[in-house]
Amino acid sequence: MSDNRGNEVKESVRRVLWRQSNGMCAICKAELSTGIGYRAPGPNVAHIVALGQFGPRSDNSLSEGDKNALANLILLCPNCHDKVDKSPDHFTRTTLSAYKVSHENWASTLRAAGQAWNARFQTVDFVNLPRILALPGGEAIWEVAKDVGIDDERSFFENGARSGLFVARVQPIFETLNTRAIPLNAETVETMVPGCLVSFEANMRSSSSPGSAGFSPSKAGRATYPSLRFALDRKLVSIRFDPRWLTTNTAFADLSMAEEEDTVYTGIGTVVGVTDGSIRLSALVFGKPMTDEVTLFDNLLLESHSKNVPRSARVDDFAFRPPKWLADSTSTGIISFNEVPEDQKTTVALRFNEDAVLPDQIERMSFPTLLRTTREINRNLSVSIGSELLFTLNQAGIRRGRADRYPSMNVAALVVSDFPVADIPILHAAMRIHAPIYLELVEVDPTLPSDQILYLRNMTPRYRIAGSRLFLISPSHHRDDEWIEEWRATKIFNSVDWDEPSNQEETG
């Protein structure tokens, strides 16, 4: 039986066989290695009917094309290959064909059991280039490797700067990679069997880090492969990886640090062993995931034109934060002004479903309620209105499985400065009654980077309410007479006028 290192079998056929067999021996189910320098499996592709005239199970009635066709090929490990060659009477053509069909059906069942897998990586730290090429979507990764000049007979480490170019190009490919995998979690951990393609994401520690002194990527062997490890439902999950396919120097350094502290890694791999207390995986790709916080910060950078964007922001900063006084009042059902000094002021943001409003509808709904819920003597309010950046957070939330936290809608905010803290409970309750598109009230915290960006920097005051009078703030001193007449016609305020620049400076 030929081991077919030559050109007898087309590379495309080899890859299909590899994929249909899940890269495993059809007899013993051992994981197979392509080795450096082979784009598709070489020594593991064997003929059921021998290619030569006098080989095991030879049949000279078949053409060379038929012998090199997928139906006559089986994926075997070297040990099983030797056994098959030495015992042709036992491993007959019918027997090997049955092994092939049974194994490929089994592999197909494992693949069908998975879910569509893709990943948003912050860093792509490991790509087993020879093995991942056999997966659906792997061709796109290989094309990038060729385009940037990766020498596949050398490790990524030995490819130098080209590896960095490779990572930058393949990162977005993994977001849409057409591969299926079973999520490895507490619900699926007891169903794992060798051959399963699984996805993982967890806090892990590295073992036998390749960043250790004296490590040589070119001399690494499977027996000494490093691994990532974490506990899952009383089982130890060990993810071994071939360090030749670590992508960058940073990946080496991060894994060395992961020996001392937990680090979140996400990726995909093949189950190669299962015992009562452990699950062993062989990694195909892994890296650090794009967290909600990183996604949020990237989106803020894109949306903000200011160069003074804070250097950190947390997703939780954008969640509904009930003001203290609102929380206290709603828990008892009784609103009391005695505990709050009348002169204590704050900034509040009223959030609305922007997809359901018409121009000026938010102001026309909110201003009468502001007048009813604040005492005229305390009323000197600066009002801004604008769209929040939550549409970018919606996308991040849905992508990370957080659609329940970020509803799929655009959100507008009416920001009111110098609002009496004691009047917050009344305002919230009244808005819920009188404004169907009202979502929630947020007390703006000027110490939070998120609030600085959304409410304090990117929204310009448009109105000032003093007592029962409304002052319009016109940008760039451009005054639209129709605007002021429209507001006078609403009869909401006793008077409507343009605000003077000196007043704007005082309220700003």
3-class secondary structure for 294-307? HHHHHHHHHHCCCC
- Identify the residue whose tokens are 């082979």: 38
Higher pLDDT, 91 or 109: 91
| Rounded CA separation 459/446 (Å) | 14
- Are 457 and 313 part of one and the same domain? yes
The answer to whether 213 and 176 have CB atoms below 8 angstroms apart is no
H/E stretch holding 496 reads strand 495-498
What is the per-residue pLDDT across 72-101, written as a single tens digit (0 to 9) for each? 999 998 888 888 888 888 888 889 999 999
- Please compute the mean of the pLDDT values over residues 128-138 and round it to a whole number: 75
DSSP-derived letter for residue 106 is H
Q: Which residues of 396-431 are buried (b: 16+ CB within 10 A; e: fewer)?
A: bbeebeeeebbeeebbbbbbbbbbbbbbbbbbbbbb
Residue 399 has pLDDT above 60, yes or no: no
- Identify the residue whose tokens are 């939070």: 448
195 domain residue, yes or no: yes
Residue range of the domain that includes 100: 11-112
Nearest to 131 by CA among 242, 30, 208, 226: 242
How would residue 222 be classed by pLDDT, with cut points 50, 70 and 90? low
Looking at residue 139, what is its pLDDT? Answer: 78
- Are 208 and 263 part of one and the same domain? yes
What is the per-residue pLDDT across 471-499, written as a single tens digit (0 to 9) for each? 998 765 567 788 889 899 999 999 999 98
| Rounded CA separation 171/154 (Å) | 21
Percent over 70 (pLDDT), the chain:
74
How would residue 68 be classed by pLDDT, with cut points 50, 70 and 90? confident
- Are 140 and 225 part of one and the same domain? yes
Mean residue pLDDT of the chain comes to 76
What is the per-residue pLDDT across 143-176, written as a single tens digit (0 to 9) for each? 899 888 998 778 888 888 888 889 888 888 888 7
Q: Which residues are within 8 A (CB) of 160 and not within 5 positions of it... i.e. 6 or more apart?
A: none
What is the per-residue pLDDT across 345-395, written as a single tens digit (0 to 9) for each? 889 989 887 777 776 788 988 999 999 888 877 688 999 887 665 444 444
Extended beta strands in 298-425, E state: 345-353, 380-387, 411-420
Looking at residue 127, what is its pLDDT? Answer: 93
- Are 339 and 462 part of one and the same domain? yes
C-alpha neighbours within 13 Å on the C-beta side of residue 318: 25
Q: What 3-state class would DSSP assign to 125?
A: strand
- Are 387 and 467 part of one and the same domain? yes
Structural domain count of the chain? 3
- Are 228 and 306 part of one and the same domain? no
DSSP-derived letter for residue 290 is -
3 domain residue, yes or no: no
- Are 121 and 99 part of one and the same domain? no
Extended beta strands in 275-318, E state: 278-289
- Are 329 and 368 part of one and the same domain? yes
Higher pLDDT, 66 or 285: 285
- Domain boundary among the residues 261, 289, 317 is at 289
Retrieve residue 64's tokens: 């060379």
Looking at residue 394, what is its pLDDT? Answer: 43
Residue 105 has pLDDT above 50, yes or no: yes
- Are 222 and 334 part of one and the same domain? no
- Please compute the mean of the pLDDT values over residues 271-286 and round it to a whole number: 91
Q: Sign of dihedral through CA atoms 41, 46, 51, 52?
A: positive
- Domain boundary among the residues 86, 112, 138 is at 112
- Domain boundary among the residues 247, 262, 289 is at 289
Helix axes 390-399, 292-303, angle to 10 degrees: 150
Q: Which pTM was predicted? A: 0.55
5 domain residue, yes or no: no
Looking at residue 465, what is its pLDDT? Answer: 94
| Rounded CA separation 166/155 (Å) | 13
What is the per-residue pLDDT across 22-40, written as a single tens digit (0 to 9) for each? 788 899 888 776 544 444 4
4 domain residue, yes or no: no
- Are 281 and 306 part of one and the same domain? no
CATH number at residue 167: 2.40.50.140
Q: What 3-state class would DSSP assign to 433?
A: helix
How would residue 339 be classed by pLDDT, with cut points 50, 70 and 90? low
Higher pLDDT, 308 or 58: 58
Retrieve residue 130's tokens: 């020879």
59 domain residue, yes or no: yes
H/E stretch holding 134 reads none
- Are 307 and 280 part of one and the same domain? no
250 domain residue, yes or no: yes
How would residue 463 be classed by pLDDT, with cut points 50, 70 and 90? very high
Looking at residue 385, what is its pLDDT? Answer: 84
Residue 310 has pLDDT above 50, yes or no: no
Looking at residue 476, what is its pLDDT? Answer: 56
Higher pLDDT, 178 or 214: 178
| Rounded CA separation 457/463 (Å) | 16
89 domain residue, yes or no: yes
271 domain residue, yes or no: yes
Worst-scoring range by mean pLDDT, 12-16, 83-87, 259-263, 278-282?
A: 12-16
- Are 59 and 144 part of one and the same domain? no
Residue 200 has pLDDT above 90, yes or no: yes
Looking at residue 475, what is its pLDDT? Answer: 65
How would residue 293 be classed by pLDDT, with cut points 50, 70 and 90? low
Amino acid at 27: I
Reading phi first (left if > 0) and then psi (alpha if -120 to 50, else beta), residue 137 is in: left
